[in-house]
Amino acid sequence: MSGQDRATRQRVLVAEPIAAGGIRMLEEAPGLEVVQRFDLTPSGLSAALREHEALIVRSKSRVTAELLADPGRLRVIGRAGTGVDNIDLDAATRAGVVVLNSPGGNAVAAAELTMAMLLALARHLPQANASLRDGRWERGRFLGVEVEGKTLGLVGIGRVGREVARRALAFRMKVLASDPHVTRQGIEDLGIEPVTLPDLLSRADFVSLHAPLATGTRHLLGGAEIGAMKPGAFLVNCARGGLVDESALLAALEAGRLGGAALDVFEEEPPSRAGLVSHPRVVSTPHLGASTVEAQERVGEDIAAKIRDYLCSGTILDAVNFPSMSREEGAAVRPIMDLAERLGRFLGQVAVGGVRRLELRCYGDFNRQSLRPLAMAAAKGVLAPVLAEAVSYVNALGVAAERGITVEEARSHEATPFAGLLRLTVDTDAGRSTVAGTLYTAEHPRLVEVDGVAVDCSPRGSILYFRNRDVPGVVGRIGTILGKAGVNIASLQLGRGAGDGMAVSLVGVDTPLPAATLAEIAALPDLTAVRQLRFPD
Ligand code: 3PG
């Protein structure tokens, strides 16, 4: 690979093993280079991630705020799996780094492990297996219980919880679920009884956790909740270690309050708390919930495709710190986001004074989209040209809020001459500026209005923008100066204001103007504003 190739290639750091199919997909994508490093220490990861556009992890790597304080080239983190509690999402969002995950791809694997754990607890399988291996034949010691007719309480009824429920119902268990994020009707439609957490704990013979780990769910099962479980009940945790207070669990097991616990996940991994995994009524595995051939193929290939699509075409799918959209929604909204960003860039370069407020109005067909991503794109466009820090779709609203800039979006049902139209208004200390744009096709954004003056301009490359008194000779004088400087004019758009004697001109140029040429133009009579604008090609 030549030095030039290397400079233009985007690098993907794979910090934990993912399926070979995923690696192949990334290696085959034009312009991507894949680096696999499974041996990185936290400081090694900190140094390495800055040199890569993308990072792929599973649950072992901790992507902390410290690591993300100086993200260097990093633009996206892919989690080959569901849980993102090992990634500091706020820090990623502040740094403008998109975090993508692969929800659902390992739900069946996690549900099947949960069922295996439930049955292992009910029938003492690991203990009986160990005893037989030790040469004993202890049929009387391992008297189990049937799960049929027993009550299973699911704490969380998302993708994994639902898969567990389907299997438990096939085993003829009575299934209860508590989930503050799902309606009673939604739970009932699954053939499950919706209950509160206290009700679930007091009624379930088996309690199984299926909630994500977040600030509000840490120690969801603390001493009080474990104490409220039915005497002799079993606890299964194949979700996240931090959901259970392990000291309280160990105390309850030692006091004989619980029948047993099956744990695939721990507060610290590998587990450090003495006595828990060695407890005779604990069945444990080393975080194997997603460890099946099928699940690894699914999530590895899924996250590789999402990283490739983000780096190669800007598609954001299943981001946990950006509005979620399907592949089809993404394809429809991307050109409109690009338009919104170009309108933002226009005003970011033209508006005078400190920005106080942005308002994006959508008309016609563009109203079919969710507006938030469009507002994020417009805010990025306005802020990126004026701020030294990196502004991305992901952190644009946060960066705006930090500066006291309000960002509003609205739908308008007013008719316009265009199938779809976006109108962006920026209020600054010095006044108000407005620009509107449409899409001729997905690849052809156009500016169609500047401060109420109709124009028709492709917002790409270098554009010389000026406002002038609508008198003869202005454009001719500017053309002469550009010709003298060897700057070729690629397009010319003139628009006249409604009776105020002012005009707006947008001159597309093949090469940026030297500073002296710009100064010479700015000194001409009859001009009130001159700016050289830059847009992505
Ligand atoms: C997940 O959150 O997807 C599971 O816990 C799997 O984690 P792993 O990718 O580290 O096996």
Q: How far is CA 326 from the centre of its chain?
A: 12
Rounded distance from Cα 35 to ligand 1 centre (Å)? 21
* Nearest atom, ligand 1, residue 82 CA: 3
> Which single residue is written with the structure tokens 């093993």?
17
Indicate whether residue 106 lines ligand 1 (CB < 6 A): yes
pLDDT digits (tens, 9 = 90+) for 347-375: 999 988 889 999 999 999 999 888 999 99
d(CA 284, CA 235): 12
534 is catalytic: no
- Bridge partners, 425 (sequence order): 359, 434
Rounded distance from Cα 26 to ligand 1 centre (Å)? 21
Letter for the amino acid at 107? Answer: A
pLDDT band at 82 (very low <50, low <70, confident <90, very high): very high
pLDDT digits (tens, 9 = 90+) for 93-140: 888 899 999 988 999 999 999 999 999 999 999 999 999 999 999 999
With beta carbons less than 8 A apart as the criterion, state whether 405 and 368 touch. no
pLDDT digits (tens, 9 = 90+) for 384-422: 887 767 788 888 998 899 888 999 999 999 999 999 999
Write out 267-301 in H/E/C secondary structure: CCCCCCCCCCCCCCCEEECCCCCCCCHHHHHHHHH
d(CA 523, CA 506): 18
Whose Cα sits closest to atom 10 in ligand 1?
Answer: 59
d(CA 445, CA 468): 25
Pocket test for ligand 1, best of 16, 106, 265 (most atoms within 8 A of CB): 106
Indicate whether residue 61 lines ligand 1 (CB < 6 A): no
Q: Are strands 406-412 and 420-428 parallel, antiparallel or unpaired?
A: unpaired
- Closest among 173, 174, 170, 229 to 198, alpha carbons compared: 229
pLDDT digits (tens, 9 = 90+) for 132-188: 999 999 999 999 999 999 999 999 999 999 999 999 999 999 999 999 888 899 899
240 is catalytic: yes
Strands (E), 102-143: none
Indicate whether residue 114 lines ligand 1 (CB < 6 A): no
Whether residue 373 has a cis bond before it, omega within 30° of 0: no
Indicate whether residue 86 lines ligand 1 (CB < 6 A): no
Rounded distance from Cα 104 to ligand 1 centre (Å)? 11
* Nearest atom, ligand 1, residue 287 CA: 11
Rounded distance from Cα 102 to ligand 1 centre (Å)? 10
Question: Residue 423's pLDDT is what?
Answer: 98
DSSP letter assigned to residue 254: H
d(CA 298, CA 138): 42
pLDDT digits (tens, 9 = 90+) for 46-76: 999 999 999 999 999 999 999 999 999 999 9
pLDDT band at 4 (very low <50, low <70, confident <90, very high): very low
With beta carbons less than 8 A apart as the criterion, state whether 388 and 353 touch. no
Strands (E), 341-469: 355-364, 406-412, 420-428, 431-441, 444-450, 453-457, 461-469
With beta carbons less than 8 A apart as the criterion, state whether 532 and 517 touch. no
Whose Cα sits closest to atom 11 in ligand 1?
Answer: 290
Predicted structure pTM score: 0.79
269 is catalytic: yes
Span between the terminal Cα atoms of the chain, in Å: 26
- Bridge partners, 5 (sequence order): none
d(CA 381, CA 344): 4
DSSP of 171-215, one letter per residue?
A: TT-EEEEE-TTS-HHHHHTTT-EE--HHHHHHH-SEEEE-----G
Letter for the amino acid at 231? Answer: P
- Closest among 273, 270, 217 to 248, alpha carbons compared: 273
3-state secondary structure of 151: strand
